[in-house]
């Protein structure tokens, strides 16, 4: 669990991000990382099993087929850090394969304490894996891991699974990979998951499912502002919207105001006016080509060692080595 002082800093940063995002013009926005509180993480777990959303199943198929290949390509990895571990369901295959060769230390990084605890419970039965969870944002957690856990001779494997890299704008994604590289040594490895481009209709359906689970996931962000920051959003007065931007190659999620209204957010010290039809941008999920991924890694200081893809739902898992 986070130390009380750390929890206060996290809440203050949350409030400041909300204030800056909702006063941004012309497009109000909220950082997508705040979608994943305990409720949001649970809803996302439901999304991953929806028939319309094929990302998670595609990655599971890739990892089932190639976890052994990954372990053979990074045989000396002894310290494994995962950015945004979630429940750890997909991670088990990689840890199983790695730990057949040597004992490893696995460090999941999560901002949701419930997701972190679930991950630690789910993987706690792996006999040759020591688990040390970090409740932090990605880079802060990775920095702590290399400072606190890395011993002389340890080889680091960083895992960034799922399609979370797509939540960054393209330039920001390249900068983020470079920031990761700066915390690594030459010869360390990065396994990166990324969703590939698909027809617009497929993407929109995946992010606006008929059952309304993704809508509940998106609207929960406003509920989180109410619970944690003293906001007074009426969730009934906002609706979920998914749209595709062909120029950016990204599916976007928005929350649209159903009427003119004013919302106050106590902890952020602001009152936000919404016009009818105005939206809050909450997430963009960029979709890549295989070459896009290779180029992005190269610019960040990595060389591609292997890339595995799923054909049923186009998705790529790329293994990079730090130069």
Q: Is the pLDDT of residue 260 over 50?
A: yes
Residue 90: its pLDDT value, please? 86
Residue 62 lies in a domain: yes
User: What tens digit of pLDDT does each residue of 114-151 get?
Assistant: 889 999 999 999 999 999 999 999 999 999 999 999 99
Shared domain check, 236 and 161: no
Q: Is the pLDDT of residue 238 over 90?
A: yes
180-192 average pLDDT score? 98
Residue 299: its pLDDT value, please? 96
Shared domain check, 137 and 9: no
Residue 56: its pLDDT value, please? 93
Q: What percent of the chain has pLDDT over 90?
A: 88
Q: Is the pLDDT of residue 194 over 80?
A: yes
Shared domain check, 184 and 315: yes
Residue 214 lies in a domain: no
Shared domain check, 310 and 165: yes
Shared domain check, 178 and 124: yes
Residue 9: its pLDDT value, please? 84
Average pLDDT, the chain: 94
Shared domain check, 110 and 92: yes
Residue 239 lies in a domain: yes
73-94 average pLDDT score? 92
Q: Is the pLDDT of residue 3 over 60?
A: no
Q: Is the pLDDT of residue 261 over 80?
A: yes
User: What tens digit of pLDDT does each residue of 147-163 get?
Assistant: 999 999 899 999 999 99
User: What tens digit of pLDDT does each residue of 100-110 get?
Assistant: 989 999 999 99
SS3 letters for the chain? CCCHHHHHHHHHHHHHHHHHHHCCCCCEECCHHHHCCHHHHHHHHHHCCCCCCCHHHHHHHHHHHHHHHHHHHCCCEEEEEEECCCCCCCHHHHHHHHHCCCCEEEEEEECCHHHHHHHHHHHCCCCCEEECCEECCHHHHHHHHHHHCCCCCCEEEEEECCCHHHHCCHHHHHHHHHHHHHCCCCCCEEEEEEEECCCHHHHHHHCCCCCCHHHHHHHHHHHHHHHHHCECCCHHHEEEEEEEECCCCEEEEEEEECCCEEEEEHHHCEEEEECCCCEEEEEEEECECHHHHHHHHHHHCEEEEEEEEECCCCEEEEEEEEC
pLDDT band at 4 (very low <50, low <70, confident <90, very high): low
Shared domain check, 315 and 260: no
Q: What percent of the chain has pLDDT over 70?
A: 98
Q: Is the pLDDT of residue 288 over 90?
A: yes
Residue 112: its pLDDT value, please? 80
pLDDT band at 12 (very low <50, low <70, confident <90, very high): very high
219-225 average pLDDT score? 98
pLDDT band at 310 (very low <50, low <70, confident <90, very high): very high
Q: Domain of residue 125: give its range.
A: 55-198+287-322
Shared domain check, 60 and 86: yes
Q: pTM of this prediction?
A: 0.89
Structural domains of the chain, count: 2
Q: Is the pLDDT of residue 1 over 50?
A: no
Q: What CATH number should be reported for the domain holding residue 187?
A: 3.40.50.150
């Amino acid at each position: 669990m986070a130390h009380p002082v750390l929890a206060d800093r996290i809440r203050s940063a949350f409030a400041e991000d909300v204030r800056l995002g909702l006063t941004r013009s012309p497009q109000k926005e909220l950082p997508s990382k705040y979608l994943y509180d305990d409720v949001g993480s649970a809803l996302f777990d439901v999304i991953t099993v929806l028939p319309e959303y094929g990302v998670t199943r595609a990655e599971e198929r890739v990892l089932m087929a190639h976890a052994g290949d990954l372990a053979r390509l990074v045989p000396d990895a002894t310290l494994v850090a995962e950015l945004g571990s979630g429940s750890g369901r997909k991670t088990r295959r990689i840890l199983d394969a790695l730990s057949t060769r040597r004992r490893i230390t696995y460090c999941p990084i999560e901002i949701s304490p419930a997701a972190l605890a679930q991950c630690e419970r789910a993987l706690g039965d792996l006999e040759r894996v020591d688990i040390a969870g970090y409740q932090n944002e990605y880079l802060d957690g990775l920095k702590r891991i290399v400072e606190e856990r890395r011993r002389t001779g340890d080889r680091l494997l960083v895992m960034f699974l799922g399609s979370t890299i797509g939540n960054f704008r393209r330039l920001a994604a390249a900068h983020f990979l470079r920031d990761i590289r700066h915390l690594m040594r030459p010869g360390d490895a990065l396994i990166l998951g990324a969703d590939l481009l698909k027809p617009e209709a497929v993407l929109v359906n995946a992010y606006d499912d008929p059952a309304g689970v993704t809508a509940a996931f998106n609207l929960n962000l406003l509920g989180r502002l109410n619970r944690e920051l003293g906001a007074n959003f009426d969730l009934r007065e906002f609706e979920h919207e998914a749209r595709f931007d062909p120029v950016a190659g990204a599916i976007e999620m928005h929350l649209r105001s159903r009427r003119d209204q004013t919302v106050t957010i106590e902890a952020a010290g602001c009152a936000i006016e919404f016009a009818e039809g105005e939206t809050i941008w909450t997430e963009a999920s960029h979709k890549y080509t295989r070459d896009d991924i290779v180029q992005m890694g190269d610019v960040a200081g990595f060389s591609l060692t292997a890339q595995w893809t799923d054909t049923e739902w186009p998705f790529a898992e790329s293994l990079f080595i730090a130069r």
